[in-house]
């Protein structure tokens, strides 16, 4: 019985192994196929022969009909036109090094509305106008080389634009997007873009990600008019100025990151009226003032990062609020403290407990202590900040007072010893006593 089951499993495994290796010969075959293309493949393919040749020049296998779903690596999607179908969507992934785009091939692909490059390192070529204006979705992730703002700006009918990990040469984002009036989703991340965030956007924009660039200036107040915006990521730029007080107008916002900029001033209280917000990251800025208590009323919040800012006062969150969050970071705010009668010292927050006036119980002055202990405290903060885990921040507050106690104890015993020694000395009065 046992034997037959294992034999069956073995057979099953062998079968799977055979099935898994099956597709590769077809992939290999396509490298050779361009030479012997149109007659044979057009009989088996419903795709326009011109487009079949274009696919072959891009090393996309056409031995099986590219219009039959799912296509090879889901690279192609076709329309239903007759007698020939046409490509609507094309995705080039993990391209070989000798691939090059040609304007001729792109001209015959002007029926595409969606074009994606993924790990496909090719230099751009001129895109024919018919293709540029037909595209609704354009994506390049770790792919196109020598991208420029002017090149991208010609895709005027896009609803989705995503460029990530590719250098874009442009004096600012406005060069790229100012004529894209239908844009719903825009990602320009890790592209070395500098300049300001443009003020004018399609009011229907839902997704904006400009993270990891060199953008400067302030967050335009006009962004808060985007009532449909669900996702906003401006992290890791050089933005300054304050968060607009009207931020609460972004009623659809779910994920917000403004982290790692130089944004200053207070958190606008209106942020806590954004009822769908689940992710709020304002870490590593220069925000100050007190943290609005109303944030603790945000029921949907799962991720809250306020670390490495200049907030002061008593932290307004209680233990049950913190427990509900998947990630909570508050360390690196040296003038902020927590009420130790409402939050156990066991919850490691990375800030000190408060004294009775609501100010942090300060670490001991540097002069009384070996300097290393002060260094420990500050470097501890920064190490914790880099940590992605939740609630892992060490508690300076716990270390500070313990070290005071230790220091005082050592000091006191030294004094006691000295007194005993002096008393002994004076009693013996210069004579050699006891020992000799």
Q: Is 116 one of the binding residues for ligand NAG (CB under 6 A)?
A: no
Give the shortest CB-196-to-ligand NAG separation in angstroms.
7
Q: Is 145 one of the binding residues for ligand NAG (CB under 6 A)?
A: no
Binding residues with ligand NAG: total (CB under 6 A): 47
Q: Is 24 one of the binding residues for ligand NAG (CB under 6 A)?
A: no
Site map (CB under 6 A) of ligand NAG, residues 319-358, x = contact: -xx-----------------x-xx-----------x---x
Q: How far apart are CA 210 and CA 195, in angstroms?
A: 12
CB 286 within 8 A of CB 264: yes
Residues in the chain: 436
Residue 84: φ, ψ to 5°: -110, 140
Helix runs in 154-276, H state only: 173-177
Rounded to the nearest 5 percent, the helix, strand and coil shares of the chain are: 35, 20, 45
Give the shortest CB-415-to-ligand NAG separation in angstroms.
34
Q: Is 430 one of the binding residues for ligand NAG (CB under 6 A)?
A: no
Among 371, 379, 372, 352, residue whose Cα is nearest residue 363: 352
Q: How far apart are CA 436 and CA 433, in angstroms?
A: 6
* Positions in 276-305 near ligand NAG (CB under 6 A): 278-279, 281, 288-289, 296-297, 302-303
CB 102 within 8 A of CB 126: no
Give the shortest CB-111-to-ligand NAG separation in angstroms.
13
Peptide bond into 83 cis (omega under 30): yes
Chosen residue from 117, 201, 210, 231 binding ligand NAG by CB under 6 A: 231
Chosen residue from 7, 40, 68, 74 binding ligand NAG by CB under 6 A: 74
| Neighbouring residues of 368: CB distance < 8 A, sequence distance ≥ 6 | 407, 411
Residue 154: φ, ψ to 5°: -75, -10
Chosen residue from 45, 51, 139, 211 binding ligand NAG by CB under 6 A: 211
Q: Where on the chain is the footprint of ligand NAG (CB under 6 A)?
A: 70, 73-74, 93-94, 119, 133, 156-157, 165-167, 189-192, 194, 211-212, 216-217, 231, 233, 235-236, 255, 257, 264-265, 278-279, 281, 288-289, 296-297, 302-303, 314, 318, 320-321, 339, 341-342, 354, 358
């Amino acid at each position: 019985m046992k034997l037959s089951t294992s034999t069956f499993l073995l057979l099953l495994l062998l079968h799977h192994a055979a099935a898994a290796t099956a597709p590769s010969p077809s992939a290999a075959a396509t490298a050779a196929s361009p030479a012997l293309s149109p007659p044979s493949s057009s009989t088996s393919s419903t795709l326009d022969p011109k487009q079949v040749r274009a696919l072959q020049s891009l090393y996309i296998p056409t031995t099986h009909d590219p219009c039959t779903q799912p296509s090879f690596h889901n690279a192609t999607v076709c329309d239903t036109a007759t007698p020939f179908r046409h490509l609507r969507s094309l995705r080039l992934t993990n391209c070989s090094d000798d691939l090059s785009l040609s304007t001729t091939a792109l001209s015959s692909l002007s029926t595409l509305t969606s074009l994606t490059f993924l790990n496909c390192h090719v230099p751009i070529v001129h895109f024919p106008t018919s293709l540029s204006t037909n595209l609704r979705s354009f994506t390049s992730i770790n792919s196109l080389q020598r991208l420029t703002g002017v090149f991208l700006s010609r895709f005027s009918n896009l609803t989705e634009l995503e460029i990530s990990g590719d250098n874009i040469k442009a004096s600012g984002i406005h060069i790229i997007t100012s004529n894209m009036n239908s844009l719903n989703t825009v990602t320009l991340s890790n592209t070395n873009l500098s300049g300001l965030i443009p003020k004018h956007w399609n009011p229907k924009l839902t997704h904006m990600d400009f993270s990891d660039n060199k953008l400067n200036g302030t967050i335009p107040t006009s962004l808060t008019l985007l009532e449909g915006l669900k996702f906003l990521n401006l992290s890791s730029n050089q933005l300054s100025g304050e968060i607009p007080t009207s931020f609460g107008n972004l009623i659809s916002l779910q994920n917000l990151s403004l982290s790692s900029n130089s944004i200053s001033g207070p958190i606008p209280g209106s942020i806590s009226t954004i009822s769908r917000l689940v992710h709020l990251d304002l870490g590593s800025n220069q925000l100050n003032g007190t943290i609005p208590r109303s944030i603790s009323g945000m029921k949907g919040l799962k991720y809250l990062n306020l670390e490495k800012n200049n907030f002061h006062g008593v932290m307004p969150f209680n233990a049950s609020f913190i427990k509900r969050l998947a990630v909570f970071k508050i360390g690196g705010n040296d003038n902020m403290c927590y009420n130790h009668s409402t939050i156990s010292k066991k919850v490691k927050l990375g800030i000190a407990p408060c004294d009775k006036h609501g100010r942090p119980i300060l670490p001991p002055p540097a002069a009384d202590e070996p300097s290393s202990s002060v260094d420990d405290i500050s470097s501890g903060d920064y190490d914790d900040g880099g940590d992605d885990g939740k609630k892992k921040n060490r508690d300076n507050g716990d270390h500070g007072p313990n070290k005071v106690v230790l220091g005082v104890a050592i000091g006191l015993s030294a004094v006691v010893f000295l007194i005993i020694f002096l008393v002994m000395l004076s009693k013996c009065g210069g004579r050699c006593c006891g020992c000799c």
